Chains A and B, each alone.
Chain A
Amino acid sequence: MFSNFDFGVIVRALPYLFYEGMTFTLMLTGLAALGGLVFGTAIALMRLSGYKTLGRIAGFYVDFMRSLPLVLVIFWFYFLVPYIGQWVTGASRPISVGAFASSLITFIMFEAAYFSEIMRAGIQSISRGQPAAANALGLTYAQTMRYVVLPQAFRNMLPVLITQTIVLFQDTSLVYVLSITDFLGAASKIAQRDGRLVEMYLFAAVVYFTISCIASFGVRRLQARIAIIR
Protein backbone atom coordinates (compact mmCIF):
# COMPACT_ATOMS: atom_id res chain seq x y z
CA MET A 1 0.00 0.00 0.00
CA PHE A 2 2.63 2.53 1.07
CA SER A 3 5.41 0.25 -0.22
CA ASN A 4 6.91 2.72 -2.68
CA PHE A 5 6.02 5.86 -0.79
CA ASP A 6 8.87 8.33 -1.34
CA PHE A 7 9.28 11.06 1.25
CA GLY A 8 12.31 12.35 -0.63
CA VAL A 9 10.07 13.76 -3.35
CA ILE A 10 8.27 15.90 -0.80
CA VAL A 11 11.46 17.06 0.90
CA ARG A 12 13.05 18.06 -2.39
CA ALA A 13 9.94 19.96 -3.42
CA LEU A 14 9.54 21.84 -0.12
CA PRO A 15 11.30 25.10 -1.14
CA TYR A 16 9.31 25.31 -4.36
CA LEU A 17 6.04 24.42 -2.66
CA PHE A 18 6.34 27.01 0.07
CA TYR A 19 8.33 29.87 -1.53
CA GLU A 20 6.38 29.81 -4.79
CA GLY A 21 3.11 28.14 -3.92
CA MET A 22 2.26 28.97 -0.33
CA THR A 23 3.39 32.60 -0.70
CA PHE A 24 0.97 33.01 -3.57
CA THR A 25 -1.85 31.31 -1.67
CA LEU A 26 -1.35 33.33 1.50
CA MET A 27 -0.89 36.66 -0.33
CA LEU A 28 -4.04 35.99 -2.34
CA THR A 29 -5.97 34.99 0.79
CA GLY A 30 -4.84 38.02 2.80
CA LEU A 31 -5.36 40.65 0.11
CA ALA A 32 -8.66 39.15 -1.03
CA ALA A 33 -9.95 39.05 2.56
CA LEU A 34 -8.95 42.69 3.07
CA GLY A 35 -10.43 43.84 -0.23
CA GLY A 36 -13.53 41.71 0.26
CA LEU A 37 -14.04 43.20 3.71
CA VAL A 38 -13.76 46.79 2.42
CA PHE A 39 -16.09 46.23 -0.54
CA GLY A 40 -18.35 44.00 1.52
CA THR A 41 -18.78 46.70 4.17
CA ALA A 42 -19.54 49.23 1.44
CA ILE A 43 -22.17 46.90 -0.03
CA ALA A 44 -23.69 46.28 3.41
CA LEU A 45 -23.89 50.04 4.02
CA MET A 46 -25.56 50.46 0.62
CA ARG A 47 -28.15 47.83 1.50
CA LEU A 48 -28.90 49.46 4.85
CA SER A 49 -28.72 53.05 3.57
CA GLY A 50 -32.48 53.48 3.16
CA TYR A 51 -32.11 54.56 -0.47
CA LYS A 52 -34.25 52.02 -2.32
CA THR A 53 -32.36 51.95 -5.62
CA LEU A 54 -28.97 51.74 -3.94
CA GLY A 55 -30.17 48.93 -1.69
CA ARG A 56 -31.68 47.06 -4.60
CA ILE A 57 -28.47 47.26 -6.66
CA ALA A 58 -26.44 45.97 -3.73
CA GLY A 59 -28.96 43.22 -3.02
CA PHE A 60 -28.97 42.14 -6.64
CA TYR A 61 -25.16 42.00 -6.71
CA VAL A 62 -25.01 39.85 -3.58
CA ASP A 63 -27.72 37.43 -4.74
CA PHE A 64 -26.18 37.21 -8.19
CA MET A 65 -22.68 36.40 -6.95
CA ARG A 66 -23.96 33.93 -4.39
CA SER A 67 -25.88 31.88 -6.92
CA LEU A 68 -22.87 31.26 -9.18
CA PRO A 69 -20.15 28.63 -8.67
CA LEU A 70 -16.75 30.13 -7.88
CA VAL A 71 -15.14 28.22 -10.75
CA LEU A 72 -17.45 29.92 -13.24
CA VAL A 73 -16.73 33.34 -11.69
CA ILE A 74 -12.98 32.67 -11.94
CA PHE A 75 -13.37 31.93 -15.66
CA TRP A 76 -15.58 35.00 -16.14
CA PHE A 77 -13.09 37.40 -14.66
CA TYR A 78 -10.11 35.73 -16.30
CA PHE A 79 -11.58 36.52 -19.71
CA LEU A 80 -13.38 39.72 -18.76
CA VAL A 81 -10.65 41.65 -16.89
CA PRO A 82 -8.50 42.31 -20.01
CA TYR A 83 -11.52 43.91 -21.70
CA ILE A 84 -12.41 45.95 -18.62
CA GLY A 85 -8.77 47.08 -18.46
CA GLN A 86 -8.94 48.11 -22.09
CA TRP A 87 -12.13 50.07 -21.44
CA VAL A 88 -10.71 51.82 -18.36
CA THR A 89 -7.33 52.72 -19.85
CA GLY A 90 -8.69 53.45 -23.32
CA ALA A 91 -6.16 51.11 -24.92
CA SER A 92 -6.72 49.92 -28.46
CA ARG A 93 -6.68 46.20 -27.61
CA PRO A 94 -7.47 44.09 -24.52
CA ILE A 95 -4.64 44.57 -22.04
CA SER A 96 -2.90 41.54 -20.55
CA VAL A 97 -3.33 41.14 -16.82
CA GLY A 98 -1.09 38.91 -14.72
CA ALA A 99 -2.37 35.72 -13.12
CA PHE A 100 -2.12 37.19 -9.63
CA ALA A 101 -3.97 40.43 -10.44
CA SER A 102 -6.71 38.54 -12.28
CA SER A 103 -7.33 36.07 -9.48
CA LEU A 104 -7.10 38.82 -6.84
CA ILE A 105 -9.83 40.84 -8.57
CA THR A 106 -11.95 37.70 -8.89
CA PHE A 107 -11.71 36.78 -5.24
CA ILE A 108 -12.27 40.35 -4.00
CA MET A 109 -15.43 40.71 -6.07
CA PHE A 110 -16.66 37.22 -5.14
CA GLU A 111 -15.89 37.39 -1.42
CA ALA A 112 -17.33 40.93 -1.15
CA ALA A 113 -20.78 39.36 -1.59
CA TYR A 114 -20.21 36.94 1.31
CA PHE A 115 -18.46 39.46 3.58
CA SER A 116 -21.26 41.96 2.99
CA GLU A 117 -23.83 39.52 4.39
CA ILE A 118 -21.69 39.05 7.50
CA MET A 119 -21.19 42.78 7.99
CA ARG A 120 -24.90 43.40 7.41
CA ALA A 121 -25.73 40.96 10.18
CA GLY A 122 -23.12 42.65 12.37
CA ILE A 123 -24.51 46.14 11.77
CA GLN A 124 -28.05 44.93 12.38
CA SER A 125 -26.99 43.30 15.64
CA ILE A 126 -26.24 46.73 17.16
CA SER A 127 -29.08 48.19 19.14
CA ARG A 128 -30.98 51.14 17.72
CA GLY A 129 -30.00 53.29 20.68
CA GLN A 130 -26.38 53.45 19.56
CA PRO A 131 -26.81 55.34 16.28
CA ALA A 132 -29.58 57.36 17.92
CA ALA A 133 -27.19 58.44 20.68
CA ALA A 134 -24.51 59.25 18.12
CA ASN A 135 -27.05 61.33 16.26
CA ALA A 136 -27.97 63.17 19.44
CA LEU A 137 -24.29 63.93 20.02
CA GLY A 138 -24.25 65.68 16.65
CA LEU A 139 -22.19 63.09 14.78
CA THR A 140 -22.68 62.95 11.02
CA TYR A 141 -23.65 59.71 9.28
CA ALA A 142 -20.02 59.05 8.33
CA GLN A 143 -18.82 59.70 11.88
CA THR A 144 -21.56 57.52 13.36
CA MET A 145 -20.50 54.64 11.15
CA ARG A 146 -16.78 55.23 11.59
CA TYR A 147 -16.71 55.69 15.36
CA VAL A 148 -19.80 53.95 16.73
CA VAL A 149 -21.40 51.30 14.54
CA LEU A 150 -18.67 49.71 12.42
CA PRO A 151 -16.10 49.09 15.20
CA GLN A 152 -18.71 47.20 17.21
CA ALA A 153 -20.12 45.37 14.21
CA PHE A 154 -16.63 44.32 13.16
CA ARG A 155 -15.78 43.15 16.62
CA ASN A 156 -19.00 41.15 17.07
CA MET A 157 -18.53 39.48 13.72
CA LEU A 158 -14.79 38.81 14.02
CA PRO A 159 -15.14 35.03 14.53
CA VAL A 160 -17.46 34.73 11.54
CA LEU A 161 -15.18 36.93 9.43
CA ILE A 162 -12.19 34.73 10.23
CA THR A 163 -14.20 31.58 9.52
CA GLN A 164 -15.11 33.02 6.13
CA THR A 165 -11.40 33.78 5.57
CA ILE A 166 -10.58 30.12 6.28
CA VAL A 167 -13.14 29.14 3.65
CA LEU A 168 -11.50 31.68 1.33
CA PHE A 169 -8.09 30.16 2.05
CA GLN A 170 -9.40 26.76 0.96
CA ASP A 171 -11.21 28.23 -2.04
CA THR A 172 -8.07 29.88 -3.43
CA SER A 173 -7.01 26.36 -4.43
CA LEU A 174 -9.56 26.68 -7.26
CA VAL A 175 -7.21 28.95 -9.22
CA TYR A 176 -5.88 25.54 -10.25
CA VAL A 177 -8.35 25.74 -13.17
CA LEU A 178 -6.23 28.59 -14.63
CA SER A 179 -2.99 26.56 -14.16
CA ILE A 180 -1.70 29.14 -11.69
CA THR A 181 1.07 28.09 -9.30
CA ASP A 182 -0.59 28.45 -5.94
CA PHE A 183 0.17 25.86 -3.26
CA LEU A 184 -1.96 23.14 -4.82
CA GLY A 185 -0.86 24.18 -8.31
CA ALA A 186 2.79 23.82 -7.28
CA ALA A 187 2.09 20.43 -5.70
CA SER A 188 0.31 19.21 -8.81
CA LYS A 189 3.09 20.44 -11.11
CA ILE A 190 5.68 18.45 -9.14
CA ALA A 191 3.27 15.51 -8.95
CA GLN A 192 2.91 15.40 -12.71
CA ARG A 193 6.61 16.04 -13.42
CA ASP A 194 7.82 13.24 -11.15
CA GLY A 195 4.81 10.95 -11.48
CA ARG A 196 4.29 11.14 -7.71
CA LEU A 197 0.59 11.96 -7.41
CA VAL A 198 0.06 10.05 -4.16
CA GLU A 199 2.84 11.73 -2.18
CA MET A 200 2.21 15.26 -3.39
CA TYR A 201 -1.59 15.27 -3.05
CA LEU A 202 -1.48 13.64 0.37
CA PHE A 203 1.09 16.19 1.51
CA ALA A 204 -0.99 19.08 0.13
CA ALA A 205 -4.04 17.70 1.96
CA VAL A 206 -2.11 17.47 5.23
CA VAL A 207 -0.83 21.05 4.92
CA TYR A 208 -4.27 22.52 4.13
CA PHE A 209 -5.80 20.45 6.91
CA THR A 210 -3.24 21.56 9.51
CA ILE A 211 -3.49 25.26 8.69
CA SER A 212 -7.31 25.25 8.61
CA CYS A 213 -7.48 23.23 11.83
CA ILE A 214 -5.18 25.59 13.72
CA ALA A 215 -7.08 28.60 12.41
CA SER A 216 -10.50 27.23 13.36
CA PHE A 217 -9.17 26.25 16.77
CA GLY A 218 -8.08 29.89 17.17
CA VAL A 219 -11.54 31.06 16.15
CA ARG A 220 -13.13 28.87 18.81
CA ARG A 221 -10.89 30.37 21.50
CA LEU A 222 -11.56 33.87 20.24
CA GLN A 223 -15.29 33.20 20.31
CA ALA A 224 -15.07 32.08 23.92
CA ARG A 225 -13.15 35.21 24.89
CA ILE A 226 -15.50 37.58 23.14
CA ALA A 227 -18.49 35.82 24.66
CA ILE A 228 -17.12 36.42 28.17
CA ILE A 229 -16.37 40.09 27.61
CA ARG A 230 -19.83 40.88 26.24
Chain B
Amino acid sequence: MNYHWNWGIFFDPNPMGTGTYLDMLLSGLVLTLKTAVLAWIIALVFGSIVGVMRTLPSKAASWFGFCWVEFFRNMPLLVQLFLWFFVLPELLPKSTGTWLKQLPNAPFWTAAIGIGFFMSARVAVQLQAGIGSLPRGQKMAATALGLTTVQGYRYVLLPMAFRIILPPLTSEFLNTIKNTAVAITIGLLELTGQARSMQEFSFQVFEAFTAATLLYLLVNAVVVTAMRFLERYVAIPGYITGK
Protein backbone atom coordinates (compact mmCIF):
# COMPACT_ATOMS: atom_id res chain seq x y z
CA MET B 1 0.00 0.00 0.00
CA ASN B 2 1.33 3.40 -0.87
CA TYR B 3 -0.97 5.24 1.51
CA HIS B 4 0.78 7.71 3.75
CA TRP B 5 -0.42 7.16 7.31
CA ASN B 6 -0.28 10.07 9.70
CA TRP B 7 -2.09 9.55 12.98
CA GLY B 8 -0.67 12.80 14.36
CA ILE B 9 -2.96 14.68 12.00
CA PHE B 10 -5.64 14.98 14.70
CA PHE B 11 -3.47 17.40 16.65
CA ASP B 12 -2.64 19.62 13.69
CA PRO B 13 -4.57 22.87 13.47
CA ASN B 14 -7.49 22.76 11.03
CA PRO B 15 -7.79 25.28 8.21
CA MET B 16 -11.00 26.77 9.64
CA GLY B 17 -9.02 28.22 12.52
CA THR B 18 -11.24 26.52 15.10
CA GLY B 19 -8.49 24.53 16.85
CA THR B 20 -7.23 21.10 15.85
CA TYR B 21 -8.75 18.53 13.50
CA LEU B 22 -9.85 16.64 16.60
CA ASP B 23 -11.84 19.68 17.74
CA MET B 24 -13.49 19.72 14.33
CA LEU B 25 -14.62 16.10 14.68
CA LEU B 26 -15.81 16.65 18.25
CA SER B 27 -17.89 19.66 17.23
CA GLY B 28 -19.41 17.36 14.58
CA LEU B 29 -20.20 14.81 17.27
CA VAL B 30 -21.93 17.45 19.39
CA LEU B 31 -24.03 18.55 16.41
CA THR B 32 -24.93 14.91 15.65
CA LEU B 33 -26.14 14.44 19.22
CA LYS B 34 -28.04 17.75 19.30
CA THR B 35 -29.82 16.97 16.03
CA ALA B 36 -30.58 13.41 17.12
CA VAL B 37 -32.03 14.46 20.48
CA LEU B 38 -34.27 17.15 18.98
CA ALA B 39 -35.39 14.77 16.22
CA TRP B 40 -36.09 12.09 18.81
CA ILE B 41 -38.27 14.43 20.87
CA ILE B 42 -40.29 15.29 17.75
CA ALA B 43 -40.50 11.60 16.81
CA LEU B 44 -41.70 10.61 20.29
CA VAL B 45 -44.36 13.34 20.52
CA PHE B 46 -45.83 12.83 17.05
CA GLY B 47 -45.23 9.07 17.05
CA SER B 48 -47.13 8.70 20.33
CA ILE B 49 -50.08 10.76 19.12
CA VAL B 50 -50.29 8.89 15.82
CA GLY B 51 -49.70 5.51 17.46
CA VAL B 52 -52.56 6.11 19.89
CA MET B 53 -54.80 7.32 17.05
CA ARG B 54 -54.25 4.05 15.21
CA THR B 55 -55.64 2.12 18.18
CA LEU B 56 -58.72 4.32 18.74
CA PRO B 57 -62.13 2.92 17.81
CA SER B 58 -62.80 6.00 15.65
CA LYS B 59 -62.46 5.14 11.94
CA ALA B 60 -61.29 8.62 11.00
CA ALA B 61 -58.57 8.63 13.63
CA SER B 62 -57.12 5.27 12.64
CA TRP B 63 -57.36 6.22 8.95
CA PHE B 64 -55.39 9.39 9.66
CA GLY B 65 -52.80 7.36 11.57
CA PHE B 66 -52.52 4.88 8.70
CA CYS B 67 -51.97 7.67 6.14
CA TRP B 68 -49.38 9.37 8.35
CA VAL B 69 -47.35 6.19 8.73
CA GLU B 70 -47.54 5.23 5.04
CA PHE B 71 -46.65 8.76 3.96
CA PHE B 72 -43.49 9.04 6.01
CA ARG B 73 -42.41 5.43 5.64
CA ASN B 74 -42.58 5.07 1.87
CA MET B 75 -40.19 7.84 0.88
CA PRO B 76 -36.43 7.77 1.30
CA LEU B 77 -35.27 10.00 4.16
CA LEU B 78 -32.99 11.82 1.74
CA VAL B 79 -35.94 12.76 -0.49
CA GLN B 80 -37.92 13.91 2.55
CA LEU B 81 -35.08 16.16 3.65
CA PHE B 82 -34.92 17.64 0.13
CA LEU B 83 -38.67 18.29 0.26
CA TRP B 84 -38.37 20.10 3.60
CA PHE B 85 -35.25 22.00 2.58
CA PHE B 86 -35.69 22.89 -1.10
CA VAL B 87 -39.37 22.46 -1.91
CA LEU B 88 -41.30 23.66 1.16
CA PRO B 89 -39.98 27.27 1.10
CA GLU B 90 -41.04 27.56 -2.57
CA LEU B 91 -44.56 26.32 -1.94
CA LEU B 92 -45.23 28.70 0.96
CA PRO B 93 -46.28 32.32 0.39
CA LYS B 94 -43.31 34.37 -0.76
CA SER B 95 -42.58 36.23 2.48
CA THR B 96 -42.75 33.09 4.65
CA GLY B 97 -40.57 31.19 2.16
CA THR B 98 -37.91 33.88 2.16
CA TRP B 99 -37.97 33.99 5.95
CA LEU B 100 -37.52 30.20 6.06
CA LYS B 101 -34.61 30.29 3.63
CA GLN B 102 -32.81 33.00 5.59
CA LEU B 103 -33.25 31.30 8.94
CA PRO B 104 -29.88 30.87 10.65
CA ASN B 105 -28.94 27.20 11.13
CA ALA B 106 -31.54 26.18 8.53
CA PRO B 107 -29.86 22.78 7.89
CA PHE B 108 -30.02 21.98 11.61
CA TRP B 109 -33.73 22.75 12.01
CA THR B 110 -34.60 21.06 8.72
CA ALA B 111 -32.65 17.93 9.64
CA ALA B 112 -34.20 17.73 13.13
CA ILE B 113 -37.75 18.20 11.81
CA GLY B 114 -37.29 15.97 8.75
CA ILE B 115 -35.67 13.12 10.67
CA GLY B 116 -38.14 13.61 13.53
CA PHE B 117 -41.18 13.17 11.29
CA PHE B 118 -39.52 10.28 9.44
CA MET B 119 -38.88 8.47 12.73
CA SER B 120 -42.31 9.35 14.13
CA ALA B 121 -43.87 6.85 11.69
CA ARG B 122 -41.68 4.10 13.12
CA VAL B 123 -42.41 5.09 16.72
CA ALA B 124 -46.13 5.06 15.89
CA VAL B 125 -45.92 1.51 14.53
CA GLN B 126 -44.03 0.32 17.62
CA LEU B 127 -46.49 1.98 19.99
CA GLN B 128 -49.46 0.54 18.13
CA ALA B 129 -47.91 -2.91 18.43
CA GLY B 130 -47.23 -2.31 22.13
CA ILE B 131 -50.82 -1.27 22.86
CA GLY B 132 -52.04 -4.17 20.74
CA SER B 133 -49.97 -6.63 22.77
CA LEU B 134 -51.80 -5.75 26.00
CA PRO B 135 -54.58 -8.13 27.02
CA ARG B 136 -58.04 -6.86 26.06
CA GLY B 137 -59.02 -7.00 29.73
CA GLN B 138 -56.83 -4.00 30.52
CA LYS B 139 -58.92 -1.63 28.46
CA MET B 140 -62.15 -3.24 29.66
CA ALA B 141 -61.09 -2.95 33.29
CA ALA B 142 -60.26 0.73 32.74
CA THR B 143 -63.72 1.29 31.26
CA ALA B 144 -65.40 -0.68 34.05
CA LEU B 145 -63.67 1.52 36.64
CA GLY B 146 -65.31 4.51 35.01
CA LEU B 147 -62.17 5.95 33.44
CA THR B 148 -62.69 8.03 30.33
CA THR B 149 -60.80 7.08 27.16
CA VAL B 150 -58.16 9.70 27.87
CA GLN B 151 -57.74 8.51 31.44
CA GLY B 152 -57.64 4.89 30.30
CA TYR B 153 -54.75 5.63 27.97
CA ARG B 154 -53.01 7.92 30.43
CA TYR B 155 -53.15 5.69 33.50
CA VAL B 156 -53.56 2.14 32.19
CA LEU B 157 -52.58 1.46 28.59
CA LEU B 158 -49.69 3.83 27.85
CA PRO B 159 -47.64 3.22 31.01
CA MET B 160 -47.70 -0.50 30.17
CA ALA B 161 -47.20 -0.13 26.42
CA PHE B 162 -44.20 2.21 26.66
CA ARG B 163 -42.43 -0.11 29.08
CA ILE B 164 -43.02 -3.08 26.79
CA ILE B 165 -41.71 -1.33 23.68
CA LEU B 166 -38.64 0.14 25.37
CA PRO B 167 -36.16 -2.28 23.68
CA PRO B 168 -37.36 -1.56 20.11
CA LEU B 169 -37.52 2.16 20.95
CA THR B 170 -33.85 1.96 21.93
CA SER B 171 -32.91 0.72 18.49
CA GLU B 172 -35.11 3.38 16.90
CA PHE B 173 -33.20 6.00 18.89
CA LEU B 174 -29.94 4.52 17.62
CA ASN B 175 -31.39 4.72 14.09
CA THR B 176 -32.18 8.38 14.70
CA ILE B 177 -28.55 9.04 15.60
CA LYS B 178 -27.35 7.18 12.50
CA ASN B 179 -29.88 8.95 10.27
CA THR B 180 -28.49 12.36 11.17
CA ALA B 181 -25.61 11.48 8.82
CA VAL B 182 -28.04 11.82 5.89
CA ALA B 183 -28.26 15.54 6.68
CA ILE B 184 -24.75 15.90 5.24
CA THR B 185 -26.60 16.33 1.92
CA ILE B 186 -28.25 19.58 3.05
CA GLY B 187 -24.99 20.91 4.41
CA LEU B 188 -25.23 19.96 8.07
CA LEU B 189 -21.67 19.51 9.36
CA GLU B 190 -22.37 16.66 11.76
CA LEU B 191 -19.85 13.91 12.52
CA THR B 192 -19.78 12.28 9.08
CA GLY B 193 -19.75 15.71 7.43
CA GLN B 194 -16.80 16.85 9.55
CA ALA B 195 -14.92 13.62 8.83
CA ARG B 196 -15.54 14.21 5.14
CA SER B 197 -14.29 17.81 5.25
CA MET B 198 -11.27 16.75 7.31
CA GLN B 199 -10.53 14.24 4.54
CA GLU B 200 -10.86 16.96 1.90
CA PHE B 201 -8.58 19.38 3.73
CA SER B 202 -5.90 16.96 4.92
CA PHE B 203 -6.12 14.03 2.44
CA GLN B 204 -5.93 11.66 5.42
CA VAL B 205 -8.99 9.62 4.40
CA PHE B 206 -8.66 6.59 6.62
CA GLU B 207 -7.62 8.42 9.78
CA ALA B 208 -10.64 10.73 9.50
CA PHE B 209 -13.14 7.94 8.89
CA THR B 210 -11.58 5.69 11.54
CA ALA B 211 -12.03 8.43 14.12
CA ALA B 212 -15.64 9.02 13.06
CA THR B 213 -16.31 5.27 13.18
CA LEU B 214 -14.89 4.99 16.70
CA LEU B 215 -16.99 7.94 17.86
CA TYR B 216 -20.16 6.36 16.44
CA LEU B 217 -19.31 3.06 18.15
CA LEU B 218 -18.73 4.93 21.42
CA VAL B 219 -22.08 6.73 21.22
CA ASN B 220 -23.76 3.43 20.42
CA ALA B 221 -22.18 1.70 23.41
CA VAL B 222 -23.14 4.52 25.78
CA VAL B 223 -26.77 4.58 24.61
CA VAL B 224 -27.14 0.79 24.76
CA THR B 225 -25.70 0.66 28.28
CA ALA B 226 -27.85 3.54 29.54
CA MET B 227 -30.99 2.02 28.05
CA ARG B 228 -30.23 -1.36 29.61
CA PHE B 229 -30.24 0.32 33.03
CA LEU B 230 -33.47 2.14 32.22
CA GLU B 231 -35.05 -1.11 30.99
CA ARG B 232 -34.17 -2.86 34.24
CA TYR B 233 -35.48 0.11 36.25
CA VAL B 234 -38.90 0.25 34.57
CA ALA B 235 -39.31 -3.49 33.92
CA ILE B 236 -42.83 -4.75 34.63
CA PRO B 237 -42.91 -7.42 37.36
CA GLY B 238 -44.35 -10.66 36.04
CA TYR B 239 -43.21 -10.17 32.47
CA ILE B 240 -40.24 -12.16 31.07
CA THR B 241 -38.05 -9.08 31.24
CA GLY B 242 -39.39 -8.18 34.68
CA LYS B 243 -37.75 -8.69 38.06
Query: Per-position contact with B for A187-210: 1 when CB-CB < 8 Å, else 0?
Result: 010000000011001101100110
Kindly name the residue among B2, B79, B91, B212 whose own CB sees the greatest number of chain A CB atoms within 10 A: B79
B-contacting residues, A91-134, CB 8 Å = 93-94
Interface residue? A18 (CB, 8 A): no
CB distance from B157 to the nearest CB of A (A): 26
CB pair A170–B76 under 8 Å, yes or no, is: yes
Which A residue sits closest to B32, measured CB to CB?
A: A69
Which A residue sits closest to B94, measured CB to CB?
A: A1
Interface 9-mer from B54-62, B128-136, B175-183, B228-236: B175-183
Interface residue? B195 (CB, 8 A): yes
Interface residue? B142 (CB, 8 A): no
Interface residue? B162 (CB, 8 A): no
Q: Which residues of A contact B83 (CB under 8 A)?
A: 201-202, 205
Interface size on A, residues (CB 8 A): 37
CB distance from B186 to the nearest CB of A (A): 11
CB pair B70–A213 under 8 Å, yes or no, is: yes
CB pair A83–B1 under 8 Å, yes or no, is: yes
Interface 9-mer from B12-20, B38-46, B148-156, B213-221: B213-221
Chain A interface residues (CB < 8 Å from chain B): 1-2, 64, 67-72, 75-76, 79-80, 83, 86-87, 93-94, 170-171, 173-174, 176-177, 184, 188, 197-198, 201-202, 204-205, 208-209, 212-213, 216
Chain B interface residues (CB < 8 Å from chain A): 1-3, 70-71, 73-80, 82-83, 86-87, 90-93, 174, 178-182, 184-185, 192, 195-196, 199, 205-206, 209, 212-213, 216-217, 220
